Protein backbone atom coordinates (compact mmCIF):
# COMPACT_ATOMS: atom_id res chain seq x y z
CA UNK A 1 0.00 0.00 0.00
CA UNK A 2 2.86 2.40 0.85
CA UNK A 3 4.69 1.81 -2.44
CA UNK A 4 1.46 2.15 -4.40
CA UNK A 5 0.61 5.53 -2.86
CA UNK A 6 4.20 6.74 -3.38
CA UNK A 7 4.08 5.81 -7.05
CA UNK A 8 0.80 7.64 -7.49
CA UNK A 9 1.97 10.83 -5.76
CA UNK A 10 4.01 12.28 -8.71
CA UNK A 11 1.09 11.80 -11.04
CA UNK A 12 -1.21 13.60 -8.61
CA UNK A 13 1.24 16.45 -8.21
CA UNK A 14 1.70 16.87 -11.94
CA UNK A 15 -2.04 16.86 -12.50
CA UNK A 16 -2.44 19.60 -9.90
CA UNK A 17 -0.10 21.94 -11.76
CA UNK A 18 -0.98 21.81 -15.47
CA UNK A 19 -0.03 25.46 -16.01
CA UNK A 20 3.54 24.85 -14.88
CA UNK A 21 3.82 21.84 -17.18
CA UNK A 22 2.50 23.86 -20.12
CA UNK A 23 4.90 26.70 -19.36
CA UNK A 24 7.80 24.24 -19.17
CA UNK A 25 6.89 22.75 -22.54
CA UNK A 26 6.60 26.25 -23.99
CA UNK A 27 10.01 27.24 -22.60
CA UNK A 28 11.65 24.14 -24.11
CA UNK A 29 10.00 24.84 -27.45
CA UNK A 30 11.19 28.45 -27.29
CA UNK A 31 14.77 27.35 -26.60
CA UNK A 32 14.69 24.89 -29.51
CA UNK A 33 13.43 27.68 -31.80
CA UNK A 34 16.27 29.95 -30.67
CA UNK A 35 18.86 27.28 -31.41
CA UNK A 36 17.32 26.68 -34.83
CA UNK A 37 17.50 30.38 -35.67
CA UNK A 38 21.16 30.59 -34.71
CA UNK A 39 21.97 27.50 -36.79
CA UNK A 40 20.25 29.07 -39.80
CA UNK A 41 22.10 32.38 -39.37
CA UNK A 42 25.50 30.70 -38.98
CA UNK A 43 24.78 28.45 -41.96
CA UNK A 44 23.97 31.45 -44.16
CA UNK A 45 27.17 33.23 -43.10
CA UNK A 46 29.28 30.15 -43.82
CA UNK A 47 27.70 29.67 -47.27
CA UNK A 48 28.16 33.39 -47.95
CA UNK A 49 31.88 33.22 -47.08
CA UNK A 50 32.41 30.08 -49.15
CA UNK A 51 30.54 31.58 -52.12
CA UNK A 52 32.63 34.76 -52.18
CA UNK A 53 35.83 32.69 -52.12
CA UNK A 54 34.81 30.02 -54.64
CA UNK A 55 33.30 32.43 -57.16
CA UNK A 56 35.98 35.09 -56.50
CA UNK A 57 33.43 37.86 -56.00
CA UNK A 58 35.20 41.23 -55.63
CA UNK A 59 34.75 42.89 -52.28
CA UNK A 60 33.58 46.12 -53.92
CA UNK A 61 30.53 44.19 -55.19
CA UNK A 62 29.66 41.83 -52.35
CA UNK A 63 32.18 41.64 -49.51
CA UNK A 64 32.52 38.46 -47.50
CA UNK A 65 31.44 38.26 -43.84
CA UNK A 66 35.10 38.36 -42.80
CA UNK A 67 35.68 41.56 -44.78
CA UNK A 68 32.52 43.08 -43.26
CA UNK A 69 33.78 42.14 -39.80
CA UNK A 70 37.08 43.84 -40.53
CA UNK A 71 35.21 46.94 -41.73
CA UNK A 72 33.19 46.97 -38.50
CA UNK A 73 36.44 47.13 -36.56
CA UNK A 74 38.13 49.63 -38.90
CA UNK A 75 35.20 52.07 -38.91
CA UNK A 76 34.11 51.40 -35.32
CA UNK A 77 34.62 54.99 -34.16
CA UNK A 78 32.75 56.45 -37.14
CA UNK A 79 29.93 53.93 -36.76
CA UNK A 80 29.52 54.71 -33.05
CA UNK A 81 29.57 58.46 -33.65
CA UNK A 82 26.90 58.21 -36.34
CA UNK A 83 24.74 55.69 -34.45
CA UNK A 84 24.04 58.16 -31.62
CA UNK A 85 22.12 60.72 -33.77
CA UNK A 86 20.05 57.96 -35.36
CA UNK A 87 19.15 56.56 -31.93
CA UNK A 88 18.14 60.02 -30.70
CA UNK A 89 15.96 60.69 -33.74
CA UNK A 90 14.34 57.26 -33.62
CA UNK A 91 13.70 57.44 -29.85
CA UNK A 92 12.17 60.92 -30.02
CA UNK A 93 9.90 60.01 -32.93
CA UNK A 94 8.97 56.67 -31.37
CA UNK A 95 7.91 58.23 -28.06
CA UNK A 96 6.11 61.19 -29.63
CA UNK A 97 4.33 59.15 -32.30
CA UNK A 98 3.07 56.52 -29.89
CA UNK A 99 1.90 59.07 -27.33
CA UNK A 100 -0.10 60.88 -30.00
CA UNK A 101 -1.51 57.56 -31.21
CA UNK A 102 -2.72 56.49 -27.75
CA UNK A 103 -4.28 59.90 -27.07
CA UNK A 104 -6.09 59.89 -30.43
CA UNK A 105 -7.23 56.29 -29.93
CA UNK A 106 -8.72 57.28 -26.56
CA UNK A 107 -10.52 60.17 -28.22
CA UNK A 108 -11.80 57.93 -31.02
CA UNK A 109 -13.26 55.42 -28.56
CA UNK A 110 -15.11 58.06 -26.55
CA UNK A 111 -16.10 60.37 -29.43
CA UNK A 112 -17.40 58.35 -32.38
CA UNK A 113 -17.79 61.39 -34.64
CA UNK A 114 -14.07 62.16 -34.26
CA UNK A 115 -13.25 58.59 -35.24
CA UNK A 116 -15.48 58.73 -38.31
CA UNK A 117 -13.98 62.06 -39.38
CA UNK A 118 -10.25 61.57 -38.68
CA UNK A 119 -9.61 57.84 -38.95
CA UNK A 120 -9.96 57.78 -42.77
CA UNK A 121 -7.58 60.75 -42.93
CA UNK A 122 -4.98 58.80 -40.96
CA UNK A 123 -5.35 55.91 -43.42
CA UNK A 124 -4.82 58.26 -46.37
CA UNK A 125 -1.67 59.73 -44.83
CA UNK A 126 -0.32 56.27 -44.06
CA UNK A 127 -0.89 55.19 -47.68
CA UNK A 128 1.64 57.79 -48.90
CA UNK A 129 5.12 56.21 -49.33
CA UNK A 130 7.38 57.34 -46.51
CA UNK A 131 10.30 57.82 -48.90
CA UNK A 132 8.22 60.38 -50.81
CA UNK A 133 7.40 62.26 -47.60
CA UNK A 134 11.02 62.63 -46.49
CA UNK A 135 11.81 65.50 -48.94
CA UNK A 136 8.59 67.25 -47.88
CA UNK A 137 9.72 67.32 -44.24
CA UNK A 138 13.21 68.47 -45.22
CA UNK A 139 11.83 71.34 -47.33
CA UNK A 140 9.38 72.39 -44.62
CA UNK A 141 11.57 71.90 -41.55
CA UNK A 142 15.14 71.90 -42.80
CA UNK A 143 17.84 69.24 -42.60
CA UNK A 144 18.16 69.34 -38.82
CA UNK A 145 16.88 67.20 -35.99
CA UNK A 146 13.23 68.28 -36.24
CA UNK A 147 12.62 66.91 -39.75
CA UNK A 148 14.01 63.49 -38.75
CA UNK A 149 11.82 63.39 -35.65
CA UNK A 150 8.76 64.38 -37.67
CA UNK A 151 9.44 61.54 -40.10
CA UNK A 152 9.84 58.91 -37.39
CA UNK A 153 6.81 60.28 -35.53
CA UNK A 154 4.62 59.80 -38.58
CA UNK A 155 5.94 56.29 -39.17
CA UNK A 156 5.43 55.31 -35.50
CA UNK A 157 1.96 56.80 -35.33
CA UNK A 158 -0.34 54.64 -37.44
CA UNK A 159 0.33 51.03 -36.26
CA UNK A 160 -0.14 52.02 -32.62
CA UNK A 161 -3.24 54.05 -33.47
CA UNK A 162 -4.88 51.05 -35.12
CA UNK A 163 -3.96 48.60 -32.37
CA UNK A 164 -4.78 50.95 -29.49
CA UNK A 165 -8.18 51.80 -30.98
CA UNK A 166 -8.93 48.13 -31.44
CA UNK A 167 -7.80 47.24 -27.92
CA UNK A 168 -9.71 50.04 -26.21
CA UNK A 169 -12.82 49.10 -28.16
CA UNK A 170 -12.51 45.34 -27.59
CA UNK A 171 -13.94 45.35 -24.07
CA UNK A 172 -16.97 43.12 -23.68
CA UNK A 173 -20.20 45.01 -23.13
CA UNK A 174 -21.22 43.08 -19.96
CA UNK A 175 -18.00 44.20 -18.27
CA UNK A 176 -18.75 47.84 -19.06
CA UNK A 177 -22.29 47.42 -17.75
CA UNK A 178 -20.89 45.82 -14.59
CA UNK A 179 -18.70 48.89 -13.96
CA UNK A 180 -21.62 51.19 -14.69
CA UNK A 181 -23.79 49.28 -12.22
CA UNK A 182 -21.47 50.36 -9.40
CA UNK A 183 -21.51 53.98 -10.60
CA UNK A 184 -18.00 53.88 -12.08
CA UNK A 185 -17.09 57.02 -14.01
CA UNK A 186 -15.85 57.02 -17.59
CA UNK A 187 -12.38 57.70 -16.24
CA UNK A 188 -12.58 54.65 -13.94
CA UNK A 189 -13.78 52.48 -16.81
CA UNK A 190 -10.90 53.69 -18.97
CA UNK A 191 -8.16 53.36 -16.33
CA UNK A 192 -9.29 50.07 -14.77
CA UNK A 193 -10.89 48.28 -17.72
CA UNK A 194 -10.28 49.68 -21.19
CA UNK A 195 -6.60 50.59 -20.92
CA UNK A 196 -5.45 47.31 -19.27
CA UNK A 197 -7.43 45.42 -21.91
CA UNK A 198 -5.71 47.44 -24.66
CA UNK A 199 -2.13 46.94 -23.40
CA UNK A 200 -1.45 43.71 -25.37
CA UNK A 201 -2.77 45.41 -28.51
CA UNK A 202 -0.67 48.52 -27.86
CA UNK A 203 2.51 46.49 -27.38
CA UNK A 204 1.77 44.65 -30.59
CA UNK A 205 1.84 48.02 -32.31
CA UNK A 206 4.95 49.06 -30.37
CA UNK A 207 6.81 46.03 -31.67
CA UNK A 208 6.12 47.20 -35.20
CA UNK A 209 6.91 50.85 -34.59
CA UNK A 210 10.08 50.02 -32.65
CA UNK A 211 11.67 48.74 -35.84
CA UNK A 212 10.02 51.16 -38.27
CA UNK A 213 11.10 54.20 -36.24
CA UNK A 214 14.76 53.31 -36.74
CA UNK A 215 14.16 52.67 -40.43
CA UNK A 216 12.31 55.97 -40.71
CA UNK A 217 15.17 57.87 -39.10
CA UNK A 218 17.65 56.31 -41.53
CA UNK A 219 15.43 57.11 -44.52
CA UNK A 220 15.09 60.72 -43.34
CA UNK A 221 18.89 60.93 -43.12
CA UNK A 222 19.17 59.89 -46.76
CA UNK A 223 17.51 63.08 -47.94
CA UNK A 224 19.50 65.63 -45.97
CA UNK A 225 21.86 65.04 -43.08
CA UNK A 226 25.47 65.50 -42.09
CA UNK A 227 25.54 62.64 -39.58
CA UNK A 228 23.73 59.42 -38.80
CA UNK A 229 23.63 55.88 -40.17
CA UNK A 230 21.58 57.01 -43.16
CA UNK A 231 24.26 59.58 -43.97
CA UNK A 232 26.90 56.83 -43.81
CA UNK A 233 24.87 54.64 -46.18
CA UNK A 234 24.67 57.42 -48.79
CA UNK A 235 28.29 58.48 -48.28
CA UNK A 236 29.69 54.96 -48.63
CA UNK A 237 27.53 54.39 -51.72
CA UNK A 238 28.91 57.50 -53.41
CA UNK A 239 32.46 56.41 -52.54
CA UNK A 240 31.83 52.81 -53.72
CA UNK A 241 33.02 51.64 -50.32
CA UNK A 242 31.07 48.38 -50.12
CA UNK A 243 32.67 47.10 -46.87
CA UNK A 244 31.71 50.30 -45.03
CA UNK A 245 28.23 50.17 -46.59
CA UNK A 246 27.67 46.61 -45.39
CA UNK A 247 29.15 47.41 -41.98
CA UNK A 248 26.65 50.27 -41.65
CA UNK A 249 23.81 47.94 -42.64
CA UNK A 250 24.93 45.43 -40.00
CA UNK A 251 24.95 48.13 -37.31
CA UNK A 252 21.52 49.34 -38.47
CA UNK A 253 20.12 45.81 -38.28
CA UNK A 254 21.64 45.29 -34.84
CA UNK A 255 20.09 48.57 -33.68
CA UNK A 256 16.66 47.49 -34.93
CA UNK A 257 16.97 44.14 -33.15
CA UNK A 258 18.05 45.82 -29.90
CA UNK A 259 15.09 48.20 -29.96
CA UNK A 260 12.70 45.33 -30.70
CA UNK A 261 14.18 43.27 -27.85
CA UNK A 262 13.88 46.24 -25.47
CA UNK A 263 10.17 46.59 -26.26
CA UNK A 264 9.70 42.84 -25.75
CA UNK A 265 11.40 43.01 -22.33
CA UNK A 266 9.27 45.97 -21.25
CA UNK A 267 6.17 44.11 -22.43
CA UNK A 268 7.01 41.13 -20.19
CA UNK A 269 7.04 43.43 -17.15
CA UNK A 270 4.05 45.59 -18.08
CA UNK A 271 1.84 42.81 -19.49
CA UNK A 272 2.99 39.69 -17.58
CA UNK A 273 -0.17 37.74 -18.35
CA UNK A 274 0.55 38.06 -22.07
CA UNK A 275 4.10 36.81 -21.55
CA UNK A 276 2.80 33.81 -19.60
CA UNK A 277 0.38 32.96 -22.40
CA UNK A 278 3.18 33.16 -24.98
CA UNK A 279 5.43 30.97 -22.85
CA UNK A 280 2.69 28.35 -22.49
CA UNK A 281 2.18 28.24 -26.25
CA UNK A 282 5.83 28.18 -27.17
CA UNK A 283 6.11 31.87 -28.05
CA UNK A 284 3.18 31.87 -30.48
CA UNK A 285 0.56 34.56 -30.29
Shared domain for 53 and 68, answered yes or no, is no
Q: Are residues 112 and 170 in the same domain?
A: yes
Q: Is the pLDDT of residue 158 over 50?
A: yes
CATH of the domain at 75: 1.10.3720.10
Residues 70 and 47 both lie in one domain: no
Q: Residue 132, SS3?
A: helix
pLDDT at 5 over 50: no
Is the same domain home to 123 and 149? yes
pLDDT at 7 over 80: no
One domain, residues 99 and 230: yes
Mean pLDDT of the chain: 86
Is residue 12 over pLDDT 60? Answer: no
The full DSSP string for 201-241 is HHHHHHHHHHHHHHHHHHHHHHHS-SSSHHHHHHHHHHTT-
**pLDDT (mean) for 130-149:** 87
User: Can you give the pLDDT at residue 238?
Assistant: 92
Q: Please tell me whether residues 83 and 194 are part of one structural domain.
A: yes
Contact 93, 155 (CB under 8 A): yes
Residue 25 lies in a domain: yes
250 vs 40 pLDDT, higher one = 250
Domain boundaries, position 42: 1-57
* Claim to verify: residue 146 and residue 176 sit in the same structural domain: yes
Q: What is the mean pLDDT of residues 106-115?
A: 92
Judge residue 54's burial from the number of C-beta atoms within 10 Å of its C-beta, 0-12 exposed, 13-18 middle, 19 or more buried: exposed
Residue 129: what pLDDT?
Answer: 84
Lowest mean pLDDT among 16-30, 70-84, 101-115, 201-215: 16-30
| Within-domain flag for 285 | no
Percent of the chain with pLDDT over 70: 84
- pLDDT tens-digit map of 165-223: 999 999 999 999 999 899 999 999 999 999 999 999 999 999 999 999 999 999 999 88
pLDDT digits (tens, 9 = 90+) for 232-254: 999 999 999 999 999 999 999 99
Assess whether 45 and 70 both reside in one domain.
no
Name the pLDDT band for 143 (thresholds 50, 70, 90): confident
Neighbours of 29 (CB within 10 A): 16
Same domain for 272 and 165: yes
Same domain for 73 and 189? yes
94 and 182 part of one domain:
yes
Amino acid sequence: MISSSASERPAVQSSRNPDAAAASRGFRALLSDQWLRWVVVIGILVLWQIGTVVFEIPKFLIPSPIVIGQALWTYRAMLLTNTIPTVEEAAAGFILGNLIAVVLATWFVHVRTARQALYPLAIVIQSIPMVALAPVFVVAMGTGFSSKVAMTTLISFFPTLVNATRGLDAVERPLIELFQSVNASRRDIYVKLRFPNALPYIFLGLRVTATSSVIGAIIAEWVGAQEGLGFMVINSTYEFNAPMLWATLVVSSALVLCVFALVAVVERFVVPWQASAEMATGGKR
